[in-house]
Amino acid sequence: MKKKCLCIRYPFRELTLSAYIGHSNGIFSIKSNKLLVKQILLVLALIISPVSITSGTISTNVFLRDSNTPIELVDPNIPHIYQDIMVGTKLKIVVSSDTIKRYWGGDLALEEAYWPYGILTPKEPLPAAGDSSGIYEQESGPPPIKWISFIADGDNVAAGDWFIIDYNAVDTGDYNSVDFNIGFYDYDISWDDPNYYLCFSQVRTRDFNNNTVVDFQDYAILASYWQQTNCSSSNGCEGADLNVDGSVDFDDLMLFCEFWLEKTK
């Protein structure tokens, strides 16, 4: 039975007031009773310059690479936990903002344990991220983590789609499925902990002939190995032993049918 990943979530912050309050502290140099000072400054901020206060969220959405078709959620009421995808599936993760918000930064983070199974590749920032925006890759650790970092900046930052990061599901190793978590960091919320995880469970491909669609040609390959029991010593029966128990039988047929006519292009 396939496991479901453990996802940790942190609440979005509804208002982004920290920079404004910090700026006001510098102006007035008030040092006593910090809570009262913040309350006073908050009121002043609301009175003097309400347009300086922005609300909104930076969000992620996941689509098939060649379309705007979103990947379905396991439960529509639980965000960021997605239906199974096959090895070979190509996704795009879109980072968007519903507000004009300059100097925003964040990351997608991939822990070393997941590196053999999927690859994140950044694309050029979209125009709405601003003419001084940036996106880059880096590694850090220990423990080793790969980061796709992005910054929205410039006079022309606009609400909308800001960044696209491609994801390729490349392997499940020796397993019939792998749970896969990608941390999403919003620096306005935390530098230390992900705001949430994008959770995938990726499974072995049913596209045995590697032509990007699961159809009768793949069924014919599975049928050619029907009830064969030495798959572990014969290259996995060309992948037809989907549950990796050494034989091709009804269990594999059921797993195959779950992705009938699935496309990975």
Residue 237, SS3 per DSSP: helix
Least distance from Ca ion to the Cβ atom of residue 156, Å: 45
Alpha helices in 115-249 (DSSP H): 216-224
Which of these segments, 43-51, 78-86, 165-173, 247-255, binds Ca ion (CB under 5 A)?
Answer: 247-255
Which of these segments, 25-33, 144-152, 163-171, 244-252, binds Ca ion (CB under 5 A)?
Answer: 244-252
Per-residue binding string, Ca ion, 9-48, x by CB under 5 A, is ----------------------------------------
Q: Which is nearer to Ca ion, 107 or 241 (CB)?
A: 241
**Strand intervals (E) in the chain:** 15-16, 54-55, 58-64, 85-86, 90-97, 104-111, 118-122, 134-140, 145-152, 160-169, 177-186, 196-203
Task: Note whether 228 binds Ca ion by CB under 5 A.
Answer: no
Least distance from Ca ion to the Cβ atom of residue 89, Å: 13
Considering only 84, 166, 179, 245, the residue that binds Ca ion (CB under 5 A) is 245
Least distance from Ca ion to the Cβ atom of residue 142, Å: 38
Per-residue binding string, Ca ion, 179-218, x by CB under 5 A, is ----------------------------x-x-x------x
Task: Note whether 252 binds Ca ion by CB under 5 A.
Answer: yes
Token match 């006001």: residue? 24
Least distance from Ca ion to the Cβ atom of residue 127, Å: 38
Q: Rounded to an integer, what is the distance from CA 203 to the centroid of its chain?
A: 17
Q: Which is nearer to Ca ion, 107 or 218 (CB)?
A: 218
Task: Note whether 83 binds Ca ion by CB under 5 A.
Answer: no
Least distance from Ca ion to the Cβ atom of residue 183, Å: 33
What are the structure tokens assigned to 142, written together?
A: 């220990």
Q: Does residue 140 contact residue 184 with C-beta atoms inside 8 Å? A: no
Q: Does residue 82 contact residue 89 with C-beta atoms inside 8 Å? A: no
Whole-angstrom distance, CA of residue 144 vs CA of residue 152 = 26
**Site for Ca ion (CB under 5 A): how many residues?**
8
Considering only 107, 186, 188, 241, the residue that binds Ca ion (CB under 5 A) is 241
* Helices and strands, counts by H and E, the chain: 4, 12
Q: Rounded to an integer, what is the distance from CA 157 to the centroid of its chain?
A: 23
Q: Which is nearer to Ca ion, 189 or 203 (CB)?
A: 203
Best CA proximity match to 83, nearest among 60, 62, 114, 107: 62
Residue 260, SS3 per DSSP: coil
Question: Which positions touch Ca ion (CB under 5 A)?
Answer: 207, 209, 211, 218, 241, 243, 245, 252
